A and B are shown apart, each in its own frame.
Chain A
Amino acid sequence: MSRANDATGDETDVRLFLRFRDEGDADAFEKIFRRHRDALLAYLWSLSGNQNVAEDISQYCWLRLVESDRKSGYRPQPGATLLTYLRTLGRNRYIDEYTRKHGEARTDSVDDVETRVRSEYTALDAAAGIEVQLIIEAALTELPFEQRDVISMWLQGFSIKEMMGLTTAPRDTVLSRKKYAIQKLKAAFEAAGLRLHDATL
């Protein structure tokens, strides 16, 4: 997963954002959007295990960025990229709106998940990769939020130190959450008969 470099290369996120905010340059915003859209959505998807929820939160984050003005919203900070801001906003939104309000995680067994997925979607969908996505979504939502939280950061290439900062959990706890989450995901993949490249996990 690539990370935006704010110091060199193409026009930086900060500059593009300021051109949008201060000069009304819509193209500048679109450049930022195209640059980070997929990474943010992938992060929110692995965090929530649900495409609709991920899109809702992604939309919320981008609209918050659009509404930023000189008094509120996004402000460039040293050492923190715009993508970091969007991810943090999305993670907070997910915790506030979905984890605390709607509470409990789904408790389907792996067999239930497989049966549900296979009964709801056709072979055509499977060919398009939708079935695989749903199996993975189901496996993700089976994880406790704390483990899914760590896994979603791991997928985005966060360091253990960064995960510790965001979760406020000690190093051993973060490593433990990651380890158990990976074990459960592997098991879910095997149970669903999914093969990863040339070998099962």
Chain B
Amino acid sequence: MMQHSDLESAAEERLREALDDAAPHPSTTHDETILRAARAKAQATAQDIAKPRRSLSMPALGIAATFILAIAVAWLLRIETPDDSYVRSGTSANVIPADGVRLKEAPSRFAWPASSEAERYRLSVYNDAADLLWASPPTTESEWLVGDELRLPANARYFWVVDLLDSAQRPTIGPFWFTLE
């Protein structure tokens, strides 16, 4: 036998369904106006990105190339000697650094669950204002050992996401947040 409270909640549920069913569908004008504005903004952004930047002089290019090469060598050396002191997570929900954690030092390692949908990943780190601070090159590992490429000021909040590359849907893991004290 149904209790009064059960009847009441059943009635509430029917009311909710009726209101949901009666909710209007957007007009074509509504959708077109919004999508047209979005396409215009996207086009302007894409054009802005494509604008040629000031060309660098040859000496400056040489210095930059040397710098990039040095970072690449350092990165390769690190990858070849992974730190086994980290405990590998057995559950897919675990990421390092954990979502919402407060850290006294910048993370030395980012790790995420491996996915069968992608062979390569790209890690991106953003500040609180969603400005991209750094993005890794594509990597086949489900972790990134941080070197000098990423310097994060203290007393700030950051989030990071991992793009699953080579996947038709381009899914993403994250965002995961951490605060640096």
Binding site for B on A (CB under 8 A): 1, 6-12, 14-15, 18, 20-26, 29-30, 33, 37-38, 41-42, 45-46, 51, 54-55, 58-59, 62-63, 66-67, 70, 75-76, 78, 129, 132-133, 136, 154-155, 182, 185-186, 189, 194, 196-197, 199, 201
Describe A's contact surface by its main secondary structure.
helix
Known: A20-B38, A22-B45. A155 touches B30 (CB 8 A): no
From A66, A133, A189, give the contact of B41 (CB < 8 A). Answer: A66
From A11, A46, A55, A189, give the contact of B26 (CB < 8 A). Answer: A55
Show 15 A/B contacts (Cβ-Cβ < 8 Å), sorted by A: A20-B45, A21-B130, A22-B45, A23-B45, A24-B45, A37-B26, A42-B23, A55-B26, A58-B26, A66-B37, A76-B130, A129-B21, A155-B16, A186-B11, A196-B15
Residues on B with beta carbons closer than 8 Å to the beta carbon of A18: 126, 130, 132
Taking a contact as CB atoms under 8 Å apart, the answer to whether B34 and A63 are in contact is: yes
For residue A68, give the distance in angstroms from its CB to the closest CB of chain B.
9
Residues on B with beta carbons closer than 8 Å to the beta carbon of A76: 126, 130, 159, 175
Taking a contact as CB atoms under 8 Å apart, the answer to whether A23 and B14 are in contact is: no
Minimal Cβ-Cβ distance residue in B for A10: B171
In the bound assembly, the distance between CA atoms of A54 and B80 in angstroms comes to 57
For residue B79, give the distance in angstroms from its CB to the closest CB of chain A.
25
How many chain B residues touch A (CB < 8 A): the figure is 54
Taking a contact as CB atoms under 8 Å apart, the answer to whether A78 and B22 are in contact is: no
Known: A20-B38, A23-B45, A75-B130. A42 touches B20 (CB 8 A): yes
1/0 per residue, CB under 8 A from A, across B22-62: the answer is 11111100110111011101111111110000000000000
In the bound assembly, the distance between CA atoms of A42 and B11 in angstroms comes to 20
- Number of contacts between A and B (CB, 8 Å)? 149
